[in-house]
Structure 1
Amino acid sequence: MSASPELSESAGAPGRGPDPRAERSRAAALAAARDLLVEQGWSAVTHVAVAARSGVGRSTLYRHWPDASGMVRDVIAQRISTAHAPPTGVLRDDLVRELDGLRRLLHDPVSDRGLRAVIERAGVDPVFARLKEDLYRHGSQVFRTVLEAAKERGELPAGLDTDLAVDQLAGPLMYRRLLAGRTVTEEYVQRVVHDFLAAHAPAAGSPPLVP
């Protein structure tokens, strides 16, 4: 199978935007990496396997992803980006929407397999340790934006530790799904947000939950 156009062409000509051929090549490479990740696990995502499945030349893949973990990172990052929603400024709604995005992410086969691989390898592989940190920063950014804005509006205590708040919101879902292997429901998301606001912003008026 012949190689697709170089991904390095993605910048395109000045004023013309990304080169569509290069964008298609990148999409094809990441689609192949995604399928390999789901079908066979992270160890199957290699330059050789992705090139064979996507038709993108190995030299191009090495140039843009010198380490195969970079392809795993970008596959997961794609999924994470679709789980976010722009904040509206309504604290409870924003927290529920963002946490529900995480819930859907944890039940998505691609991100579920990818996150488990990253967590598994991070303790023994510095590349995956850096990857885990990158994904954490990327995945928690909207939470941080929502929380900091709420502190500025006086809806949350100014001294609230943002890192701890992210842990209190996202931690229960990560534990329940990745460690306990249990389903995370929309009702569970509502309860986590309710309990968080009850502890830190009782005046926010979170509606009571139906048992």
Structure 2
Amino acid sequence: MRPPDPRTVRSREAALTAARELLIEQGMSGLTHGAVAARSGISRATLYRLWPEPADLVRATLTWHIALAQPETTGDLRADLRTALTGTRAMLHEPASEQGMRVMIERAAVDPKFAEAKEALYRSGTQVVRAILTDAVTRAELPAALDIDLALDQLHGPLFFRRLVADRTFELDYVHDVVDDFLRCHSTKPPHQQGIS
């Protein structure tokens, strides 16, 4: 497989940087192909080739943020969950990604393209935690019968509810409490072996 053309990579990054800035400054209404072209210096033709629809552009911008936030895993269940959800917390408090998620959720209810993009972002945004949980089940640190989808809801749900529904900020202590509560309920190890008091 041929490596990507460096010029295409540079154009993509310049466009996504501009898209992020516009999302922060103007919200969804400012995230147009014309505005991104003017801000980034990338031609409209190139932008339409990369992202034919506005939903594609929002999806690409958020996927980029998610990829940057995803950590390396260590095999330490508690530490890995804390690190991964700390990345989620950062995205929920970063203006561009928070605004993009709000727009995606709102538009997905009425626009199939946004619904498709939201589903792809869900898969991308939860893949690291899904892998952490799956590996922990394999190591018998979590029950074999654990419902991984429900576990994802239990870990991510409180963070998204507090920020996007209740419109409240939260600190790392809240993230740590969510992780520790989950482990108290599901871990096969005694609490003292998990580092939980």
TM range (shorter): over 0.9
The offset of 1:204, in angstroms, is: 5.0
Q: Which has the higher contact order (CA 8 A, sep 6+)?
A: 2
Instruction: Check the 8 A contact 1:155/1:204 in 2, yes or no.
Output: no
What does residue 34 of structure 2 align with? 48
Runs of 4+ in 1 over 4 A off after TM superposition: none
What does residue 80 of structure 2 align with? 94
Structure 1 gap segments, 5+ residues each = 1-10
The offset of 1:202, in angstroms, is: 5.2
The offset of 1:120, in angstroms, is: 1.0
Q: Which letter maps to 2:108?
A: A
Indicate the structure (1 or 2) with the bigger Cα radius of gyration. Answer: 1
The equivalent position to 1:67 in structure 2, one of 44, 47, 53, is 53
The equivalent position to 2:98 in structure 1, one of 86, 89, 112, is 112
What is the percent sequence identity of the aligned residues?
Answer: 53
The alignment's TM-score, normalised by the length of structure 1, stands at 0.88
Instruction: Check the 8 A contact 1:144/1:162 in 2, yes or no.
Output: yes
Structure 2 gap segments, 5+ residues each = none
Measured in 2, the distance between the counterparts of 1:141 and 1:207 equals 25
Q: Which letter maps to 1:68?
A: P
What does residue 76 of structure 1 align with? 62
Instruction: Check the 8 A contact 1:100/1:189 in 2, yes or no.
Output: yes
Matched, 1:183 2:169: yes
The alignment's TM-score, normalised by the length of structure 2, stands at 0.94
Q: Relative to 1, partners in 2 of residues 1:159 and 1:202: Cα closer, same or farther, differing over 3 Å?
A: closer
Matched positions, count: 195
> How large is the Cα RMSD of the aligned pairs?
1.5
Q: After the TM superposition, which of the residue ranges 171-180 and 19-28 deviates more from structure 2?
A: 19-28
Measured in 1, the distance between the counterparts of 2:110 and 2:99 equals 18
